[in-house]
Structure 1
Amino acid sequence: MQASSSVLYQEYSKYQNSVNKNNVVEVAGNFFSPSLLGEDYRVNLGAVSQLLFKSYMVEEFSYHEMKNEQEGCLTINGYDEENAPLIFSLKYILNDGRWLIDNIHVVFVEHVKDFSDSAKCPNEYPE
């Protein structure tokens, strides 16, 4: 499951290692789909902070991904700065040959036993 064929996780790692609060606006198009970004993300401070969702997780525990030719989902289990468990659920779409994040869902869970044991798309979580 966590082999070198983990394309989506590799894309997430690129985002995680290269995006920060100083460059997120300039490089957002390399990691996020146009539909996720919307029209005004460059001037919307709330949007910019949402694009830095990675900062919630300070330690990764495990990940799972699934994809087909056009879209996929990546689920990352981990911990926040207070060592509380949380889950990132990311939907990716293939756009001009690049995998881009199209939807983000952050789930704060009660216990490690609540970690996801498979890839789940953001739309699979109850509202």
Structure 2
Amino acid sequence: MKKLLIISLFGFITSCANTVENSTSPYQQYKQFLTSLKVKNYEDALHMLSPYNQTRFHREKGDESFNEFFPFFSSVDSVVLKEIRYYEKVKGEKSCLTVSGYNKEGDPTTLNFELLNVDGYWKLHYVHMAYHETKNEFPDKATCPVIP
């Protein structure tokens, strides 16, 4: 009986050691994506997108660059330049991230992202940009974008 308990415990510990989880939050992934855009490392930026977006890019891009193919994703680093607040909500393999602040003209703007957890990593799947009349219109919670 004691041998069975030791073997079971060893199996449990081994299975836990083989499970690798990424501790990067959706917000941290967004910040890494911004860094990749700022240094023009589009290969890393592409890797941070969902498999659906990566596949579309490789199949359909033709002569288009990352910026041309993904005009919204490639411009998120210039939409919210002065960040005021962010909210994230994780539900299973899906996350919603809302980032609010001001653009270069000082206008209040919000980015709403949907991220998917793929093999333990948060991948940007969809982005929606919202421009507001005043900062009072900033969301007060994470809002998932409506995907058409």
Kindly indicate which of the two structures has a greater share of residues assigned to helix: 2
| Residue 69 (structure 2) aligns with | 47
| Residue 102 (structure 2) aligns with | 79
Distance between the aligned counterparts of 1:102 and 1:59, measured in 2? 23
Distance between the aligned counterparts of 1:105 and 1:54, measured in 2? 13
Cα–Cα, structure 1 residues 79 and 42, in superposed 2: closer, same or farther, change >3 Å? farther
1:66 is aligned, of 72, 89, 93, to 89
Cα–Cα, structure 1 residues 6 and 95, in superposed 2: closer, same or farther, change >3 Å? closer
Cα–Cα, structure 1 residues 74 and 42, in superposed 2: closer, same or farther, change >3 Å? farther
Please give the per-residue CA displacement for 1:6-42, whole angstroms capped at 9, x wherever unaligned: 8111111111123237322x22332111223413347
Distance between the aligned counterparts of 1:6 and 1:119, measured in 2? 17
TM-score, structure 1 as length reference? 0.82
Cα–Cα, structure 1 residues 113 and 42, in superposed 2: closer, same or farther, change >3 Å? farther
1:31 is aligned, of 41, 45, 48, to 48
Identity of aligned residues (%): 26
Distance between the aligned counterparts of 1:90 and 1:103, measured in 2? 6
Aligned residues: 120
Over the aligned positions, Cα root-mean-square deviation in angstroms equals: 2.3
Distance between the aligned counterparts of 2:140 and 2:51, measured in 1? 30
Distance between the aligned counterparts of 2:24 and 2:120, measured in 1? 16
| Residue 4 (structure 2) aligns with | none
Q: Which runs of 4+ in 1 moved over 6 A?
A: none
2:30 is aligned, of 3, 6, 12, to 12
Moved more, 38-47 or 79-88: 38-47
Cα–Cα, structure 1 residues 72 and 42, in superposed 2: closer, same or farther, change >3 Å? farther
Q: Which has the larger radius of gyration?
A: 2
Structure 1 unmatched runs, 5+: none
Distance between the aligned counterparts of 2:72 and 2:64, measured in 1? 10
1:88 is aligned, of 90, 111, 129, to 111
